[in-house]
Amino acid sequence: MPTSVSYPINAFETPLIDAGELVPGARILIKDETRYASGSHKEPAARAVVARAIAEGKRRIVIATCGNYGRAMAMGAGALGMPCTVVLPAGWSDGGAFMREAGADVVLVDGAYEDAVDESKRLAQADGAVDGNVDGPYVADVFAGHGLVAVALHAALGGEPPAALWVPVGNGTTVIAIARRFRDLGWDVPIHGVGSAGNNPIVTSWPGEYRMLGPDEVTTTDHNQPLVNWHALQGAEAMAAIAATGGAVHAATDEQLLAAQTVLHAHGAHPTAGGSVAMAGLLAATELSGTHVVLLSGR
């Protein structure tokens, strides 16, 4: 099991890297959430779901993943002794090797992430387990876990809100959770969501009404894989949350993901190309000023 060294267990322990004026006229801070044992910013959410399942006497958690949530759940469940099943599209991520090593049962399905979600819900019901997906019955715990990074940033910045926060968008869960927690903290922070160009309905719908893409309208590559959805499970709510903060949604190409990854490596952060998407969005922006925080999502 990949826990041979000490890793953080919450967002207060993951580093905030000062990248200085990486973009002229602005101070850039990198919140490196890839430093969790799973390498995923989704670990606090996974741990919150596991804790709730244990408290309610459940005997197994079943989720779908395109990589990051599965890694986080495998680590979180393994740490607390909860059996879990992870459903992953065949050929995605590392084929489930990390999750198996962490103790999870991995089920591979043909198709896309959305097909994995359907299968995970079927397995959860058939097995008498709990559906731990981001739109499942423990969604409040998912939001609580994802929102922890907002509290950590509030503490790290001494209560002084940044000019903007740049966040990856997939299902939209992280954006919603952070926006809610910022509101609770009384912070007025524009949130900028960044996703794979043409491969996520939050990205393709903005700034209009949310519209799902067709399964054949998205293209998955080795670089954008964690970012691809033809249906973002909480897409409409995420778009509303971003709009309410005065932020926006941005698209990043694979070339921009790789360029952002190279920049981040130079500052001691080592996400995957997909995990670099928020930085890719910021680097493509113009006329920035003030302090901007970039959330890294996976390594």
Please indicate, yes or no, whether residues 102 and 207 belong to a single structural domain of this protein: no
Give the pLDDT of residue 211.
98
């190279």: which residue's tokens?
A: 262
Reading the block at residue 157, the tokens are 């910045």
Query: Residue 254 maps to which CATH number?
Result: 3.40.50.1100
Q: Which of 113, 131, 149 is the last residue of a domain?
A: 131
Please indicate, yes or no, whether residues 33 and 164 belong to a single structural domain of this protein: yes
Please indicate, yes or no, whether residues 54 and 109 belong to a single structural domain of this protein: yes
Q: Classify 256 in phi/psi space as left (phi over 0), alpha (psi -120 to 50) or beta.
A: alpha
How far apart CA 65 and CA 77 sit, in angstroms, is: 15
Task: Give me the phi and psi of 6, to 5 degrees please.
Answer: -80, 130
Please indicate, yes or no, whether residues 34 and 50 belong to a single structural domain of this protein: no
Give the pLDDT of residue 67.
87
How far apart CA 139 and CA 145 sit, in angstroms, is: 10
What dihedral do alpha carbons 233, 207, 188, 283 form, nearest 10°?
Answer: 90
Give the pLDDT of residue 4.
34
Please indicate, yes or no, whether residues 126 and 224 belong to a single structural domain of this protein: no
Please indicate, yes or no, whether residues 260 and 169 belong to a single structural domain of this protein: yes
Q: Which of 131, 164, 189 is the last residue of a domain?
A: 131
Please indicate, yes or no, whether residues 124 and 153 belong to a single structural domain of this protein: no
Please indicate, yes or no, whether residues 165 and 180 belong to a single structural domain of this protein: yes
Short-list 143, 156, 158, CA closest to 49:
143
Please indicate, yes or no, whether residues 170 and 210 belong to a single structural domain of this protein: yes
Please indicate, yes or no, whether residues 144 and 79 belong to a single structural domain of this protein: no
Q: Whole domain around residue 66: which residue ranges?
A: 43-131
Task: Report yes or no on 223 lying in a domain.
Answer: yes
Task: Report yes or no on 199 lying in a domain.
Answer: yes
| Residue-wise DSSP of 114-172 | HHHHHHHHHHHHHHT-EE-STTSTTHHHHHHHHHHHHHHHHHHTTT---SEEEEE-SSS
Please indicate, yes or no, whether residues 92 and 179 belong to a single structural domain of this protein: no
Q: Which of 107, 131, 155 is the last residue of a domain?
A: 131
Task: Report yes or no on 6 lying in a domain.
Answer: no
Task: Report yes or no on 254 lying in a domain.
Answer: yes
Mean pLDDT by 10 residues, the chain (299 residues): 50 91 92 93 94 93 93 93 95 90 95 93 89 94 96 95 97 96 97 98 98 95 92 96 98 98 96 97 94 95
Task: Report yes or no on 8 lying in a domain.
Answer: no
Structural domains in the chain (count): 2
Using DSSP's 3-state secondary structure scheme, residue 34 falls into helix
Task: Report yes or no on 3 lying in a domain.
Answer: no
105-109 β-sheet, strand order:
105-109, 84-89, 61-64, 130-131
Please indicate, yes or no, whether residues 205 and 255 belong to a single structural domain of this protein: yes
Task: Report yes or no on 1 lying in a domain.
Answer: no
